[in-house]
Structure 1
């Protein structure tokens, strides 16, 4: 899973969810989609995830990539490399099962930074107003905002989710913030815990495609030329298993 799913971006029509149900309904009516992604009851709780980056594509050609070094680094260091981290799904104020974005963002950040750093304390997020997440790091703050989302259940054991996210990176040095735009599209398939136990396999498997898009901040001509096609795409395969010992003291 690319960390940008928690810390990234994609431009779409402005929208923000509210704590109030009737305002959430209004946000949905404006085309923002569900107020949050809602998952089946089977997803509730903590999971150990193994993830492998299987493909890195540049659909518009490398010349269209604003930060080619980042793509090259992914191809060189991350491709076909197995990573492990923990994610959690929790209940929101309405009792629905949702992605614990604060905990999951902190969990993925711990793979890349000093594990002694307390990322949870650096993340601001409201489970009942889930579209904005703010991360404060030394020398930089990142503000992410979900601008559009959707979910579908093509079969009883499958869910497909999509979120467009806008991320603003601000170094606080007086320069212009950097804007990034992405879509995170994920296909999940799950089975019963009993079936997973029988063959010691994962309970949930998923394929995730993270697409990065140009924005007007990357240059008006390049943005128009891209015609809303991604300049980079990262494809992941993921497997979810229950932890051997479920953490009872997991921060929320």
Structure 2
């Protein structure tokens, strides 16, 4: 699975991120093949609940993070004019998974740090990007385009471990990740991948991982043999008739 580091103990926003945000970031990291999410600024005390806080309410209770994406030990960087494919895929997948506040820009937090999170409150669902000065008008065009692509094609809700069985019951599914979904040798992004399953690829979910319920073991060839693991948040059930053997079993896996 993706490794998370930070936030630093001496940061003002040094509290953990929320479980909801972590699931969004895990889904985005899997889609973009990010090895490590380095959180430089995490959660903070909510207004009226403590004094360790700064700036807006977006970081309250861990609902936002300022972070860096690391691949192969190298931190990905960007300019105001362009960003590498890994950053673009990460932003699109984060937006698709539910993040509705995303900021980046050399004049905002430098050339490697991105803000990803939710609204200023739990009732704020406005979809916003911003750049230098925290202004929407200064958001880099690549950031606007990548986020808009995710918001236009939202993924199914990311799954909590307790709900994983319902979200990925045994049955026939199709890949819905825009840039494809990596088939891995084990339940996590730390396992190698030599195959990317294209969007629309159909497969059979055989069982949920007992190590990390967000991952499922699949049969891609349809021959009853196991081919590897995929991240379940980027699968959608394939419609089938009531008498089809491929119909998903209700109530999770047995």
Q: Which has the higher contact order (CA 8 A, sep 6+)?
A: 1
Same fold (TM over 0.5): no
Identify, as 1 or 2, the structure richer in strand. 1
TM-score normalized with structure 2 length: 0.26
TM-score by length of 1: 0.26
